[in-house]
Structures are given as C-alpha cells and as structure tokens.
Amino acid sequence: MTALAAPANVPPDRVIDFDLYDFPVEGLDYQGSMRALFQANPAEVLWTPRNGGHWIVKTNADVAKVLADNDHFSSRRIMVTEEVSDRPPLVPLQLDPPHHAPFRALLQAALSPKAVGKLGERARELSIELIDGFKHDGHCEFIGQFAQHLPIAIFMEIVGLPAEDRPYLTEIAEAAMRGATEAERNEAGAKLMGYGMAKVAERRANPGNDLISTIVRAEIEGKPIEDFPLTGMILLLLLGGLDTVASTLGFYAQFLATHPEHRRQLVENPDLIPNANEELLRRFPIAILAREVKADVELGGVTMKAGEMVMVPTPMDGLDENKFADPLTVDFARVKPGANSTFGGGVHRCVGSVLARTELRIFLEEWLKRIPDFQVKPGSNPRVSARSVATITSLELVWDPASVK
Amino acid sequence: MSAPGTRRYICFYCGTVYDEALGWPDEGIAPGTLWEDVPDDWLCPECAATKADFALDEDD
C-alpha cells in the first residue's frame, strides 16, 4: 500500500505509520500491546496514513470527549476504511441524535435491567449445563464449547432464532468482523443481512414474542420501520449479539487460566465477583470505535477537519494511568473500575451492556464454583485475531478432573 | 411523585442512584442539588453512563 501524504492540518510530529486494526500482539495481551504502542508515541493525538488516513485519540479524556460530543463527531461511519461498504447503516448506531432515539428506545426496552433479570436466570441455567457437560473431561476448547455458546444461545432466544442456526451464524459473524479481506467481510455481512431479512419476512407473516417481531411491528413517528433501516437494525443486533460477549469471555478465561492467585481470591471470596467483573471489563476491552468529524474541531493540540475520521480505541480509557493507577494490574479491590469506556460512551453506549455484564458475571460465578483450577493447555498456541473487535480464536483449557466440584 | 429536592434517579445500566438530597459530594455536587442542576456532562460514577441514561425512580 502506498502511504498517503498527511493533509496540511496534520502536524508532522503527530504522524505515525501503523494499522491499529492489525498490529503485533504480545502473547494474548491485545490491550497491553496496544497501550505499549501508544506509550512509544507520546503525543496526545496521532495521525496514521493507514486505512485511508485517520486520527487516533489515545487518552481517557479524549476518548470520552469524542464519544460525548455529537456536535463535532458523527457515528455515520464507525470504521476507518479506504473502501466504501454497501451495507445499510447499522441502526441506531450509525444515526446521529435525535434520529437514533426512537430506534434505540425499542432495543433499550428489550434489554432493560428488568428484561435482563429473567434472561440472567436462563443464562445461569445454560452456563451450569454447559460446564457440567465437560467438567469431568478435564479439558475443553473454551471458545467453541463455552464462550460462543452461552451468550449466543441467550441472544438467539431474545431474537427467537432456532438454536441449530448457532454454528452457521457464529461462523459468518466471525467472517463479517474479522475476515481477511474487505470482500470477504462484505460477503459475510451480506449473508448475515440475507439471513436477518428472511427472519423479518417470517415474523411479519407470523409474529411471536421475540425482539425481531417487536421491531417488525414497531412504529416510529406513526409509521412502520422501512426495510432499509430495519435491515440495519437487524444487522446491528446480529453483529452485536453474536460476537462481543463471546470475545470478552475469551479474554476473561485466558486471564484467569494464567493467574491462579486471582482465581483463588474469587473462589475463596465470591463477594468480590461483581467488582472483579468490572475490573476485568476495564482491563480487557475488545472494541475500537471510530467517528467522522462533522465540523472542524480542536482536540489534543490539533485541528481536525470536517470529513476526517477519528479512531477511538476503547482500551485506552481503562488503561490510562491518569484515570486508573497501575492500569495493567488486575486488582479486584480497585475502587470503581466500572467507570470506563469499554461499552463505549455517549448516546451510543452499548445498549446490550446490562445483559453482557450479567452473562460475564454468571460465567465467573458458575465456572469458578465448578472448575476452580485450570490452565491453558501446555503446547497449545492461542492467538488473538482483531480488526475493530478483538477476539481469541481458540483457547484450549485443561484441569484435573479430580478437582472439579 | 416525590417533590424536587427529594427525587432519586437511577442509572439504566448499573442501577446507581443519584439522590437529590445527598448530591454527589465526591464529584463536587453538593447535597440538595436538583437533578436539572447536575451538569449535563456528568457521568455515572460507577459505570460512566451519561446523565441521559438516568431515569426518575417512579416508585418513590
């Protein structure tokens, strides 16, 4: 790729040539590796010629500012890329306020704490069932047997999709998020859309009590939602619901597998789990967001021009030492670790975060009760795969079957 | 419904309660500060959700 020349408004000392969608990760520490990359480049805001050329913010203050400032930053485009996708915008994520609000309200009702309370019990039953299914084996491939199973099965119950479609959907969501080429990602996105729209047609003909039926029946400003935004809404649900908690669970499990003293703390004192959940979310965010500059704005000593893109790596909020002391250290007693941007921020903060938190907490509670000691299988070589969302593609865990409860 | 000065607002995401009578002194918001006087850029101290993510506790 030929490097783009930086536009005139980019000071030369802010230019750095790296691709944050594809950078070297040390072991499985995606977040720590990202932070090290930024620490080597101390300027507050950077600009890279990669992916069409874009700004990168890297402090907790700037991450929060960009996500909160709807006057200067738009979520019309949420990825930095040279190529133009023909996907419909993800709704409501890619709508600016106030247009996003009625669509978001629909999702918020389905994912409210009250609604999630019932789903949480279902998630607990399923977690126990999954863990009991393999705990006596002394090993599992965590991603396939648990991380991609629990949250996706719960999500599929919310949207009323058949359980047998889970492997197919998991595979195309993976290709849509992290396929090797733009063409591969777009093709998988198109498959996901096709699947979603077929379900929309089914629910129009035969509505149920699921979220797709609710969306199909909903009216916004007195009118049913048109097919184009409806497609974007279903696609957002599928991408959000199929990938994110599964990816986060992988990072939780690899951390616990390699930190026996932390495991022991939670086994001996389960009351620590709610705060530990927030601390692990702070330490292991998986998403890089992006915004388009709507109107010229000064940030971090530079002028960003309308139309330019800004990358917003969410790990850099929770891993900023000005906000959290000794940020790479996981400390289950840390005070208020939850005040971070792991779920984004501002009006587009992750609408599924109540459910995500619940599922992650239930994993910690039910797994550690049954499999208190486990490690990464010696000789296995787990790897991180990332673009805008990072994941661990395979994680072989082993334990002594005699130690399970 | 509660009178201004005694209302409670709950964070949609984490359930944190902003109680007008108590304010949030750690963050410079004095006891008795009405919800409408809490700065618009104030974030939930527990989970960083926005002020708009808080809803009036109707059970009060």
pLDDT by residue (tens digit) across A269-287? Answer: 999 999 999 999 999 999 9
pLDDT by residue (tens digit) across A348-401? Answer: 999 999 999 999 999 999 999 999 999 999 999 999 999 999 999 999 999 999
Please answer yes or no on whether B48 and A339 come within 8 Å at the CB atom. yes
Q: How far is A275 from chain B (nearest CA, A)?
A: 10
pLDDT by residue (tens digit) across A79-122? Answer: 998 666 677 899 999 999 999 999 999 998 889 888 888 899 99
Q: How far is B38 from chain A (nearest CA, A)?
A: 16
* A349 contact B CB<8A: yes
* A354 contact B CB<8A: yes
The partner residue sitting opposite B14, judged by closest CB among A338, A345, A346, is A338
Q: What is the CATH number of the domain that holds A48?
A: 1.10.630.10
Q: Over range A237-263, report the average pLDDT.
A: 95
Please answer yes or no on whether B13 and A336 come within 8 Å at the CB atom. no
Contact A176, A192 (CB under 8 A): yes
Contact A242, A235 (CB under 8 A): no
Total domains, chain A:
1
Q: What 3-state DSSP class applies to A376?
A: strand
Q: Indicate the DSSP class of residue A137.
A: G
Q: What does A301-357 look like in DSSP terms, one character per residue?
A: TEEEPTT-EEEEETHHHHT-TTTSSSTTS--TT-SSTT-SSTT--GGGS-TTHHHHH
Please answer yes or no on whether A340 and B48 come within 8 Å at the CB atom. yes
> What pLDDT is stored for residue B46 in this prediction?
86
Average pLDDT across chain A, whole number: 94
Nearest chain B residue to A355, by CA: B13
Backbone phi, psi, residue B10, to 5°: -115, 135
Please answer yes or no on whether A68 and B50 come within 8 Å at the CB atom. yes
Confidence of residue B60 (pLDDT cuts 50, 70, 90): low
Residue B47, pLDDT > 90, answer no
> What pLDDT is stored for residue A281 in this prediction?
97
- The dihedral through the CA atoms of A29, A35, A38, A39 has a sign that is negative
Contacts (Cβ under 8 Å, ≥6 apart) of A171: none
Q: How far is A338 from chain B (nearest CA, A)?
A: 5
Give the structural domain span for A237: 12-403
* B14 contact A CB<8A: yes
Say whether domain B8-56 belongs to CATH 2.20.28.10: yes
pLDDT by residue (tens digit) across A328-357? Answer: 999 999 999 999 999 999 999 999 999 999
Has residue A3 been placed in a domain? no
Residue B29, pLDDT > 70, answer yes
Chain A residues with CB-CB distance to B12 below 8 A: 108, 112-113, 354
In the beta sheet, which residues pair with residue B5? none
Please answer yes or no on whether B48 and A345 come within 8 Å at the CB atom. yes
Confidence of residue B32 (pLDDT cuts 50, 70, 90): very high
* A68 contact B CB<8A: yes
> What pLDDT is stored for residue B15 in this prediction?
83
Distance, CA of A214 to CA of A94 (rounded, Å): 21
Distance, CA of A46 to CA of A25 (rounded, Å): 20
The partner residue sitting opposite A346, judged by closest CB among B13, B45, B50, is B50
Contact A281, A338 (CB under 8 A): yes
Chain A residues with CB-CB distance to B55 below 8 A: none
Residue B59, pLDDT > 80, answer no
The partner residue sitting opposite B43, judged by closest CB among A112, A339, A347, is A339
Confidence of residue A1 (pLDDT cuts 50, 70, 90): very low
The partner residue sitting opposite A354, judged by closest CB among B13, B45, B50, is B13
Mutate to test the interface with A, among B10, B12, B27, B53 (most CBs of A within 10 A): B12
Please answer yes or no on whether A349 and B49 come within 8 Å at the CB atom. yes
In terms of Cβ atoms closer than 10 Å to its own Cβ (0-12, 13-18, 19+), residue A1 is exposed
Q: For the stretch A369-397, what's the b/e string if a residue is b when 16 or more beta carbons lie within 10 angstroms of its beta carbon?
A: ebbbebebbeeeebebbbbbbbbbeebbb
Percent of chain A with pLDDT over 70: 98
Chain A residues with CB-CB distance to B13 below 8 A: 343, 349, 353-354
The partner residue sitting opposite A113, judged by closest CB among B15, B46, B52, is B15
Nearest chain A residue to B49, by CA: A345
